[in-house]
Amino acid sequence: MIDFRLNKIFLLPSFQPFYSFNKYMKRSTSLRSDPWRERTVRCSSVLIVALGVCLIALGVYTTVLVLTEYTSPRPCLSEVCVGTASRVLSALNKDVEPCDDFYEFACGGWIKKNPVPEWATSWDQLAKLREQLTTDLRELLEADDIPGMPKSVLKAKALYRTCVDTDKMQAKGVKPIENLLASLGLPVKPPSVSSNFTWEDISATVRRRLGLNVLVSVQVAEDVRNTSRNRVVIEQVTPGFSERYLLHPEQFGAELDQYHKYIKEMIAIVDPDTDAKKFADDIIDISTRLARIMTPMEVRRSGTHLFHDVSVSQFVQGTGGGPAQWNEHNWDKFLKLVFSNTTVELHPNEDRLIVMDLPYLQKLATLLSETEPLLIERFIWWSVFSTVSPMTLSEFRELGFEFSRAVYGLRARAPRWKTCSANVNANFGLALSYLYVNHHFDNASRVKAIEMVEDVREAFAQTVSHLEWMDGSTRDRTLRKLRAIRNFVGFPAWLLEHDKLDKHYENAEVIEGNLFETFLKLTNAAVKKSFQSLREKPDRNRWVATATTVNAFYSATLNSVTFPAGILQPPFYGNGIEAINYGSIGAIMGHEVTHGFDDQGRRYDEEGNLRQWWSAATLEHYHGKVQCIIQQYSQYHMQQLPNYTVHGFNTQGENIADNGGLRAALQAYSLYAGRHPAADRARLPALPQYTPQQLFFLGFAQIWCGNSTVGALKSKMVEGVHSPNKIRVIGTLSNSKEFAEAWQCPSGSPMNPVHKCVLW
């Protein structure tokens, strides 16, 4: 309601000249005295004055209405906004002060209402969205075939039907495993005596036919020093169970006991005559030995971890400084068997390899020479058996569930359809993407998401332009790399072309009714395709994930960001309020862009080549700011595990990306609001007290609302490269002065510490 009296006060100065002018006119035109005329003039003057007042008042009233229309908060009452408001409100815990613990304030309600499901070990917004996507895929896979469907889609549906038919799997028993083991040159029962076993033959054959890296990892990937070509990459591989658990039995004794029990009970089923306890002892023994020679993650991500470029001949002969035992192993035969049945023949002097873990390989050569062959054979046998056994007897799957129950807190088996939907997605992801985007993705979402990515990129560029610690040359290179980042949003355009989609899967064969044989054929085709890419030029426009993926990615060698259709869904995207969209998916976009400049990504240039392009002075400033983040996160712990702290060094890349991503997203929202002023007036119904800036931070925090079992949380803190969800929110927001301003947090309060770590 407008106070008209207030308008009169402001109208008087404007009215005064008009009144004075009329008085002057009256005197100048009064040539003689005429009472009637004087009364008429006075009456006319009053009417004119009154009319003027009304006109001016009307103008002011209209102006106020217009200004109110364009400046006052306006609730968004669309169906989408109402749903978003309900979700945001339901997640809150208003009993907690936002400046004390914003995660509990933003997520306390969600955490209370969303316990971890019995068939999961963690549950958060990503997990819920994956659950919805898996359900959508099930419906698409179980729907009737439609005439004209791509052949690849029909293959995917056949694989799903085969996977859910556990009766046929059970009927075949362990015979498929025995046939596979024999074809690999391994005994059909657990090895008990030494044989004419050579690890090079078996390990290489297992890699080629099963895609399984045992003892040594071999793959084809871009040459990190020249991404215009592919190279063979050789590096270490995990021994099958967490190396950190293996190396610290005093801390993880309970987990190791459960692993021992799992091995023992699996062996007891497949061969009651084998000493299962001794077999399990041997597997843990050799696994621990392998864990001891592995290059620690802390070294692998540091600058001291070097890439060794050697010729095939140099690698085979060990001329890179290998131990005396190096030549006791037939590395030449190993490589030839890995590339067997492909179009690739390695040339000793022309072809070069990238060895990423030379110290590991040197120690491995010694370990293999000094270890009893039976122990090595048992390890490879177990690696194969434990991989394929779940595709046979239900008893094996049951033991796997019991192991996960004891170690990670799983309480119930996932329904078979979930397992099979995930299996089909892993093997026919693009075919499922074809179905998914036709039913669950609007191209308008893709257009809008691209606009957001560009806003985030521009925001990051503005930040870089004002960094005081970065010199001019490094700044120019940083901006050049930033502008070179390519966006892959939604799904590849060619996906909807049947011929191209079917061409992609032309060598993928599904034997309906036989899951085990189908697995072997699909794996063989995929491995063959991968190894034959050695002679091909890398596809710089390839997608690193399918549309049916609920995640986001940055590729250092491609210098690209990928946001699949699977994650461009509520609550990450499409919330009706742009402040929340930028706080959620915008922060994720900023996170991926920032990965290009974290402790790992910064080593690669705009073409994805590994090389030093930072000045020494700027690098020194950079390391100082990164150290601040490492120290900050190393002090965090979770209430459920008071004796464990976040590994600040191993999580630094993700923490850098979280902090830089949030800052870029907030600035990106400002850019959007500058183009669309109405955005800054939008409010959620039932939550009118929250400004767009506050909604932005709520949007960010609530995408990380989550619960976890203690076992899963421990695994994440010990091995993961991401901080726990709560720490991702607390750590990031406590470094943001904009957050403190938006929520009016006093200096020195838990969410507004005096000292903040700011890099990007």
Which residues are annotated as catalytic? 592, 658
**Across 547-592, where does the E strand assignment appear?**
553-555, 560-564
Q: What is the largest CA-CA distance in the chain?
A: 139
End-to-end CA distance of the chain: 46
Specify the amino acid at residue 242: S
- 687: which 2 tokens? 């939550």
Specify the amino acid at residue 308: H
471 and 618 Cβ atoms separated by less than 8 Å: yes
Handedness of CA 677, 679, 683, 685 (dihedral sign): positive
How many Å apart are CA 183 and CA 179, to the nearest integer? Answer: 6
CB atoms within 10 A of CB 23: 10
Report the DSSP beta bridge partners of residue 554: 561
Three-class DSSP category at 605: coil
How many Å apart are CA 477 and CA 690, to the nearest integer? Answer: 40
Closest CA to 41 of 56, 30, 53, 52: 30
How many Å apart are CA 474 and CA 532, to the nearest integer? Answer: 38
The DSSP-derived string for 133-195 is HHHHHHHHHHSPP-TT--HHHHHHHHHHHHHH-HHHHHHHTTHHHHHHHHHHT--SS---S--
How many Å apart are CA 618 and CA 73, to the nearest integer? Answer: 44
How many Å apart are CA 597 and CA 318, to the nearest integer? Answer: 36
Report the DSSP beta bridge partners of residue 306: none
**Residue indicated by tokens 């990928």:** 562
**Helix, strand, coil % (nearest 5) of the chain?**
60, 10, 30
Closest CA to 188 of 273, 290, 281: 273
Please enumerate in sequence order all residues whose Cβ is within 8 A of that of 263, keeping only pairs 6 or more positions apart, or say none: 276, 279, 280, 283, 284, 382
Three-class DSSP category at 230: strand
Dihedral-angle region of residue 576 (phi above 0 means left; psi in -120 to 50 means alpha; beta otherwise): left
- Kind of pairing, strands 308-311 and 352-355? antiparallel
234 and 216 Cβ atoms separated by less than 8 Å: yes
111-139 b/e (C-beta count within 10 Å ≥ 16 → b): beebebbeebbbbbbbbbbbbebbebbbe
Residue 33 DSSP one-character state: -
Closest CA to 80 of 577, 672, 745: 577
155 and 428 Cβ atoms separated by less than 8 Å: yes
Three-class DSSP category at 468: coil
